[in-house]
Chains A and B, each alone.
Chain A
Amino acid sequence: MRPFEYVSPNTRSQAISLLGASRGNAEILAGGTDLLTLMKDDVVAPKRLINIKGINDLHGVSSNAQGFHIGALTTLGDLADDATVRQNYPALAEALAEAASPQIRNLATLGGNLCQRPRCWYFRNGFGLLPKNETGKELVAEGENRYHAILGNEGPAKFVSPSTLVPILVAYGAKIRLEGPKGKRELPLEKFFVIPKNEGEREHDLRPNEIVTEVVIPPASDVRAAHYEIRQKEIFDWPLAVAGVALKMRGSNVQSARIVMGYVAPVPWPSPEAEQALVGQPINKDTAQRAAEAALTNAKPLSHNAYKVQLARVALRRAILKAASGGVS
């Protein structure tokens, strides 16, 4: 790891001021589980590390009429143990329990989980987010792309969005709040993720001097939700496909649906096609299968990852059936 200077501010405005207006010089240190690895591998080399864990009002959770507020520095472990999450957002509780390992969950924060960098092995080995060789040829398209994107991969970005929590958070309708020198702003969580078109662009809509302050999930008492992951290993592994589903029912038919796939595209991938296929329908094996088919109709696998299309379909079908049966698979 290269040398850096370390500063630990106590307030949001101090942190924002210390970050500066340009990227690359300073990095935000929250849980550190991703950042320290990137620094050890020399993928990022900040001159200044700003530990924001001393900012007290970024920690902890609270509830009000808007919903459930999660401070950006709440650890995944604390969130997984939280009684409100378990009771009101059981599909999120399940996603949290399956995330990484106990040791990582004790350090990793929700804000960091949203801001973690892609797991693409070209990126992690220093070839950049949109890796090209000297002649401008895209490395992923003709290289080792078995874990890469099957949707949204028309441009140079072929990595997959790495958070396993984001699909279910988006399905629940979560919003993200950011703060910078010009004040606060709020985005639907899915809008926080962008597909970079040029090297140097980031995959997050986070300006160099902005910090993530909290995530807000609307009340979900009338929502039936489920999270489903397919991994090669039973646990502590990056998934091959993730699905987050939230259904509102009218009688035995679907009134509205929010269906989001993870690990299939450079951003979390909501599927209006699958949502449309379900609205007005009862949930059974046939309707779940039709929705899953609709979600993957436009998939364009790369040379080595066509298998992911079927895995994404299966994850989605199982998540829909699980949501309808009250979160039990």
Chain B
Amino acid sequence: MRDEDENQKNPNDSPESPGVSRRDFLKISGISVAVPLVAGPRVIKAAGQEVRVYGPGKVPMEFAINGKNYKANLEPRVTLLDALRDEFELTGAKRVCDRAECGACTVLVDNKPVYACAMLAIEAQHKAITTVESLTRDGKLHPIQQAFVDNDASQCGFCTPGFVVACKAFLDKHPHPTPEDIRRGLSGNLCRCGTYAGIRKAIAQVAQKGA
């Protein structure tokens, strides 16, 4: 019965209302249960030199995401993907397989596409992280996003943010791709709806016009 309740539309849950969203509720209830215990690194000796050991509890971390600085106290086991989604509300990168297989969590780290689920947040500190949220500027879609719309390249849309980021990285590296380049270059992303034909057309459109 609980599942049904959760899925029921709350009449107060419109974007205009100041009500508590499900995400906010989960965050608040999380705080009341787990009191975060943050500790600085422990210093131990290895081969005669001092090295810092972090965790297993929460440690302070800093990130550079889409040109902005973010801080959070996280355990070393938190992936970059979970940090983006759960700490910074950057929910464009999707958690689908969480096993480096589907591409829905694709982000750029130092301008290279990677699976955010396959990298620990603690390692991503001080690297330039770019998520799909940075592509839309002043309400105007990025040319790749516009090409997805123009070419009907989304169906359910869940893989789309990962695909858009992967396409951007691909076109930055291969501005004039052959159809074979496109097939290989986008091989790290899966679409269960099968919109590949539209995605290939979208890339070809951007490659022709320039992004």
Contacts and interface: CB of A to CB of B under 8 A. Distances in A.
B184 A5 contact: no
B188 A101 contact: yes
Contacts of A101: 103, 187-189
B144 to A, nearest CB: 16
A195 B114 CA distance: 33
A3 interface: yes
A49 B76 contact: yes
Contacts of A18: 46, 51
B104 to A, nearest CB: 11
A107 B81 CA distance: 15
A301 B188 CA distance: 32
Interface in A2-19: 2-11, 13-18
Nearest to B45: A17
A14 B46 contact: yes
A297 interface: no
A37 B185 contact: no
Contact of B188 (A31, A32, A37, A102): A102
Interface in A95-115: 97, 100-104, 106-107
Contacts of B120: 6, 29, 32, 36, 49
A197 to B, nearest CB: 30
A32 B187 contact: no
A21 interface: no
Contact of A5 (B54, B166, B169): B54
Interface in B91-124: 98-100, 103, 106, 109, 112-115, 117-120, 122-123
Contacts of A13: 46-47
A77 interface: yes
A33 interface: yes
Most chain A CB inside 10 Å of its own CB: which residue of B56, B106, B117 = B56
Interface residues of B, number: 39
Interface residues of A, number: 41
A174 B39 CA distance: 45
Interface in B107-157: 109, 112-115, 117-120, 122-123
Contacts of A33: 100, 115, 118
A101 B115 CA distance: 10
Given A5-B53, A6-B122, A101-B187, A17 B46 contact: yes
A296 B103 CA distance: 37
B175 interface: no
B177 interface: no
A102 B113 contact: yes
A234 B99 CA distance: 20
B55 interface: yes
A271 interface: no
B49 interface: yes
A53 interface: yes
7 contacts: A4-B55, A10-B51, A18-B51, A29-B123, A40-B98, A101-B188, A235-B183
